[in-house]
Amino acid sequence: MLQAEMERMGQKAKEAAYKLGSVSTKVKNEALMAMAKALEERMELILTANEQDMEAGRAKGLSNALLDRLLLTPDRIREMAEGLRALVALPDPVGEVVKMWTRPNGLQIGKMRVPLGVIGIIYEARPNVTVDAAGLCLKAGNAVILRGGSEAFNSNKAITDVISAAATSAGIPEGAIQLVETTDREAARIMMRMNGYIDVLIPRGGAGLIQTVVENATVPVLETGVGNCHVYVDEDADLDMATRIVVNAKTQRPAVCNAMETLLVHEKIAEEFLPKVAAALKEKGVELRGCQKTREILPDCNPATEEDWKTEYLDLILAIRVVEGFEQAIEHIHNYGTKHTEAIVTNNYQRARAFLQRVDAAAVFVNASTRFTDGYQFGFGAEIGISTQKLHARGPMGLEELTTVKYIIFGDGQIRT
């Protein structure tokens, strides 16, 4: 029965996507504005639903961190509305002809950006994802099926009711924004195998969720998430700059995937650099775990084990390794990195180039903080997540990444011989 219910949703989304492909930018933008306005006007309804979720969460003993993620306030709702309005200003990727060429036989071939179709999003506690994802998918001409966490069920339902009604009244086909209205875990499993209805599945949440989706989905998946990111401070680094970058990469927002987890330091500058950076990190409350050589320089640093090189702490903890040189740094990143974001601090031209060339990651930085791997920071204006796989999109995914292409071919009766 749930299977049939999910397929009905899928069919509805598919029909909506088919119509949505021809909806003008103007109508999509009006819908985004209407959705934003509705969120603000129906704030009480959403806050009441959120209060239910918060009460249930407290009763269930959710951690304060989780409760904070779950919490909606008038300010947070206004922020969500502003996010939708910001999408209006972004260029519509749909219909752009990326390139066009003519073949010797006269066929004129163009590569045109078109919506992906139906996007499934499976996510966890934060109800703002509901609005973000719906807005991004809509602007890129896609229908969306949202599957939020059970803790936020009432909030997500209230939000979806409000924004999907506003979208429909602004001329968006019904079924373009749908929420899976059950907390039954089986619904997510079904979504993962809805080939023919869902074109792409994007999981947003912790490593466990992403793993489950990758393991079980037959629908193509855009994997997001894990970042075991490094900063390598080269022998030719400006040590003040290196300190600023390391402190920023570790502490500006430690719980996110583009935060640094391991610091690699060239042995030639370790004695000068480590005490300096350690002092700055300790001021920010960072726990340090170092290799043997690090601990010879920083005696009160905890020891790092093999496990530490592999760990994405997402916390105020930093692993430190002193390396013999550039090659060992590259090798460490090759062995332990998750191909998300890697950075070198150096003033050496050749090693800067070699690092950019040889490190295999979605984003490779010279002399800047890893924290810049982000759709807004890259200038995409919005972000649906950061891809950590290599197919389709790598790194921050904005509106363009929510489209595919089709070839449009103009002929004059050409046949193949």
Check residue 371 for interaction with a second copy (CB under 8 A).
Answer: yes
229 token code pair: 């990111």
Residues in Cβ contact with 285 at an 8 Å cutoff, skipping those fewer than 6 apart: 251, 316
Per CB under 8 A, contacts with a second copy among 143-162 are none
Which of residues 132 and 223 has its CB atom nearest to a second copy in the complex?
223
Question: What whole-number distance in Å separates Cα of residue 175 and Cα of residue 12?
Answer: 5
Per CB under 8 A, the segment of 31-39, 173-181, 293-301, 353-361 that binds a second copy is: 353-361
Per residue in 14-53, is it b (16+ CB within 10 Å) or e — as a string?
A: bbbbeebbebeeeebbbbbbbbbebbeebbeebbebbeeb
Shortest approach of a second copy to residue 118 CB, angstroms? 10
Does residue 101 interact with a second copy by CB under 8 A? yes
Hey, is 118 helix, strand or coil? strand
Single residue of 92, 124, 132, 199 touching a second copy by CB under 8 A: 199
Segment 323 to 352, residues that bind a second copy, using CB under 8 A: 334
Kindly tell me which of 142 and 156 has the beta carbon lying closer to a second copy: 142
Tokens 């922020």 -> residue: 79
Among 301, 363, 382, 384, binds a second copy (CB under 8 A): 363
25 touching a second copy, by CB under 8 A: no
Could you tell me the two tokens for 206? 């912790």
Write out the binding residues for a second copy, residues 237-256 only, by CB under 8 A: 238, 241, 244-245, 247-249, 252
Written as six digits, the tokens of 248 are 């920023």
Of 72, 125, 137, 221, the one binding a second copy by CB under 8 A: 221
Do strands 385-387 and 395-397 pair parallel, antiparallel, or not at all (unpaired)? antiparallel
Cα distance between residue 362 and residue 267, in whole Å? 27
The residues that touch a second copy, with contacts defined as CB under 8 A, are: 18, 21-22, 101, 103, 107, 109, 114, 116-117, 195, 199-200, 214-215, 218, 220-223, 238, 241, 244-245, 247-249, 252, 334, 356-358, 360-369, 371-373, 377-379, 389-392, 394-395, 404-417
